[in-house]
Structure 1
Amino acid sequence: MITLPHGCQCSEISVTPKDWKTCKASAMARNWHIQYYFYDTAIKKRKFVLVKGMNRFKTLTERREATVQLIENELYNLKDKGYNPISGKFLIESFGSIEPTAGFIDALRKAFKLLKLESTTMQDISSAINFFETAAKKIGIERIEIQSVKRRHLRQVLDMVGELKKSWSAYSFNNCRAYLLMLYKKLLEEDAIDVNRVKEIPKQKNILKLKRVLDEKERLRIDTHLKEIDPNYRRFIHIFFHSGSRKTEMVWLKVADVNLEKQVFKLFIKKGSQQREELRAIKNIALDFWKEQLDGSSPDDYVFSTNFRPGETRTTTKRMGNKWRLYVKEGLGIDIDFYSLKHLNLDETSKLLDAEAASKMAGHSSTVITLKHYLVNEEERKRKRLRKVSNDFCVTN
Structure 2
Amino acid sequence: MLKQGYTDPQLHRYSGDTDQEWYVDFYHTCIQRNKRKRVQVRLGINFFKTAKERDREARAVIKIIRDSLEAGWDPHDCKLDVWLQTHQPKIPEPIVTVQELKTPDGIPVPTPATLLPEALELAYKIRQKELKKKSCQNYETGLRYAIPAIKAAGMDKLPLEKVKRVHIRMVLEQIGKIRQAEYDKQGKGKIWTPNAFNRYKSYISAYFDALEEWEAVEFNPCDKIADKDPIDFGTHRHATDEELRILKQELPKLHPELYNLVRFEHVTGMRPNEILQYKYSMTDWLNSEIKLSYMEGKTRIYRVVPVPAFMLEWIKARKGMQPDNYYVFGKGLKSGPKSLTANSLSRRWSSYVKEKLGLNISLYSFKGLGGDAKRDAGVSYGGVQAGYGHALGSSSTKAYLRKEGERLRQEIKDSIVDL
TM range (shorter): 0.5 to 0.7
Contact 2:193 2:231 in 1 (8 A): no
Query: 1:132 and 2:146 equivalent?
Result: yes
- 1:253/1:138 Cα in 2 relative to 1: closer, same or farther (>3 Å)? same
Contact 1:111 1:183 in 2 (8 A): yes
Query: 1:350 maps to what in 2?
Result: 375
The 3-state SS of whatever aligns with 2:302 is: strand
Q: What CA distance in whole angstroms lies between the structure 2 residues aligned with 1:134 and 1:295? A: 56
Letter in 2 for 1:280: P
Q: What CA distance in whole angstroms lies between the structure 1 residues aligned with 2:398 and 2:345? A: 25
> Could you report, residue by residue, the CA deviation over 1:58-107 in whole angstroms, capped at 9, with x for unpaired residues?
x9xx99xx99xxxxxxxxxxxxxxxxxxxxxxxxxx94222555553332
Query: 1:106 and 2:118 equivalent?
Result: yes
The 3-state SS of whatever aligns with 2:301 is: strand
Query: 1:27 maps to what in 2?
Result: none
Letter in 1 for 2:169: R
Q: CA deviation at 1:350?
A: 2.1
Query: 1:89 maps to what in 2?
Result: none
> Could you report, residue by residue, the CA deviation over 1:170-196 in whole angstroms, capped at 9, with x for unpaired residues?
232122112211111212333444553
Q: CA deviation at 1:247?
A: 3.8
Match of 2:324 among 299, 310, 316: 299
Q: CA deviation at 1:239?
A: 1.4
Within 5 Å, which residues of 2 pair with 1:379-394?
379-381=405-407
Query: 1:184 and 2:196 equivalent?
Result: no
Match of 2:193 among 165, 169, 186: 169
The count of corresponding residues between Structure 1 and Structure 2 is 306
Query: 2:60 maps to what in 1?
Result: none
Q: Could you list the runs of 5+ residues in structure 2 that have no partner in the other structure?
A: 1-77, 87-105, 181-189
The 3-state SS of whatever aligns with 2:361 is: coil
Q: Could you list the runs of 5+ residues in structure 1 that have no partner in the other structure?
A: 1-58, 68-93
Q: What CA distance in whole angstroms lies between the structure 1 residues aligned with 2:407 and 2:377? A: 11
Contact 1:241 1:345 in 2 (8 A): yes
- Considering only aligned residues, what root-mean-square deviation do their CA atoms show, in Å? 4.4
- 1:335/1:134 Cα in 2 relative to 1: closer, same or farther (>3 Å)? farther
- 1:192/1:380 Cα in 2 relative to 1: closer, same or farther (>3 Å)? closer
Q: CA deviation at 1:112?
A: 1.5
Query: 1:158 maps to what in 2?
Result: 172
Q: What CA distance in whole angstroms lies between the structure 2 residues aligned with 1:141 and 1:197? A: 15
Q: CA deviation at 1:111?
A: 0.9
Within 5 Å, which residues of 2 pair with 1:74-153?
95-100=107-112, 102-115=114-127, 117-119=130-132, 120-136=134-150, 138-139=152-153, 141=155, 145-147=159-161, 151-153=165-167
The 3-state SS of whatever aligns with 2:108 is: coil
Contact 1:104 1:145 in 2 (8 A): yes
Q: CA deviation at 1:267?
A: 1.9
Query: 2:301 maps to what in 1?
Result: 275
Query: 1:284 maps to what in 2?
Result: 310
Within 5 Å, which residues of 2 pair with 1:3-82?
none
> Could you report, residue by residue, the CA deviation over 1:177-229 in whole angstroms, capped at 9, with x for unpaired residues?
12211111212333444553334543323467998522343123334554455
Letter in 2 for 1:214: A
- 1:225/1:362 Cα in 2 relative to 1: closer, same or farther (>3 Å)? same
- 1:135/1:350 Cα in 2 relative to 1: closer, same or farther (>3 Å)? same
